[in-house]
Amino acid sequence: MAIDAMCQIEQKGLNERLALSRSTRRLGIRSPIARGLAHKLLLETVRNQNLLDHIINTVLKPDYIGDLQPSLRAFLRLYTSEVKIKGNGSYEKASNIAKTGRSIIGWRRFREIEETLGFLLGLKINKILKGLSDTETVSLRMSQPLWFVKYCFHLLGRHETLQFFSSLLTSTPTYIRINTSKMSAEKSLKTIRRDGITLQKTKDLLHTYKVVDHTQPLPRTPSFKEGLFYIQDKASCLASEVAAPEAGMTVLDICAAPGAKTSHLAQLMDNRGEIFSIDYSRRRMRIWKGEMERLNVKNATPLVSDSFHSPPLHEIEADLIMLDPPCTSTGVFSRTPSAKWRLSKKSIKRSAAIQWKMINNCVEPLKKGGFLVYSTCSITVEENEILIERFLKWHPEFRLVETKPRIGLPGLRGQTLSQRLFPHIHECNGFFVAKLEKEF
């Protein structure tokens, strides 16, 4: 499953979760244990891909890993991860992995890399990293693109960057939001705990809990199926609480699918008022519809529309607009490590251009005295503070207001009313949120 999913990630640009889901169906694997093990192998291997490729290319010279067929590339990366990175590369284990790979790929094709496996087993990583620059060494040791290392050194400083990168080598904790639209928090918590889920309340957020332990996958539990909770990162929960919607308001949720923000807003509004949830993807909006039914959301209307162009908002007068536009996702590399290998420094400018168009397209329906909440799961200033600076210059009718509750750090470039969250400090996704009021 891991080999097949890695091939799909590389060839079709899928994220880890979707690639593994398709591989599971294609191979007819039903065991949740097997899926969990494959997911772990997949994340570990993709996360360290640049270091793995550097090691492999050292052995393959003058050839290059990119010259191999996709399945051979995937296997070599997985093999190198298991026998070199995890530090338990015994000959017996390496031999067993090679035997498994041979049975999956076929011995005729496998012969192409057979000799390489022995060389990899005896290679010393420290030796091949000698003579590299500091940024190159950090890039390989911390498994981050070289351009991103240089960017973060400039933005955060070397010490803070190393701490940030260390946190990206492991997954951040899982959080859930108790859904009081279905049942009281007290009753829900009792039911959830009976399902073998151990929780820890998150300070300063209303219904957010860290998952300390669970005996089965969360989506398979009866309490999840009953809609008693939503799996949602702490940072995402913060954005809705910053918005502070009130019962009876008219709210626009831009880029709404698959429904985290909409369902949270509805919960905070006691299902009173109206939420227009807009997203361009029909597939994601079908998921949105199912989630609204599961979570007992009664006051949300779906609109399939591309907010990069002109969304159908002419007849709507909104008290609140939530915009969580597409971004580079530099704050969630620990969850979707394949994303970092698809990005370049130019990706930041492309994302910022899309975000600029979307934020300008969506503000017209906002009433005087209404609020716009802008958030991304990126840590770059171009997608966050610089974009907000530019927006305020172009729209003098808006002003920044404080984002409450305060659980993050102040924004950069003097935007202390905004908030930033980092995985190494706040144990959640990297995140930015700003709140703006329309004064006239």
Whether 348 and 342 have beta carbons less than 8 Å apart is answered as no
Whether 291 and 263 have beta carbons less than 8 Å apart is answered as yes
Helix ranges restricted to H, 198-271: 222-225, 234-243, 260-268
CA nearest neighbour of 320 among 367, 277, 355: 367
Examine the residue annotation and report whether 377 is marked as an active-site residue of this protein: yes
Q: How many Å is the maximal CA-CA distance in the chain?
A: 72
Count the residues in the chain: 440
Helix ranges restricted to H, 123-184: 125-129, 134-141, 146-156, 158-168
Which among 255, 362, 377, 428 is annotated as catalytic?
A: 377
Instruction: Check whether the bond before 337 is cis (ω within 30° of 0).
Output: no
**DSSP labels for 299-335?**
SEEEEE--TTS--S-TT--EEEEEE------TT-TTT
Classify residue 42 as left (phi > 0), alpha (psi -120 to 50) or beta.
alpha
Q: How far apart are CA 298 and CA 301, in angstroms?
A: 9
CA nearest neighbour of 246 among 274, 288, 227: 274
Write down the residue that tokens 């219904």 correspond to. 207
Annotated catalytic residues are 377
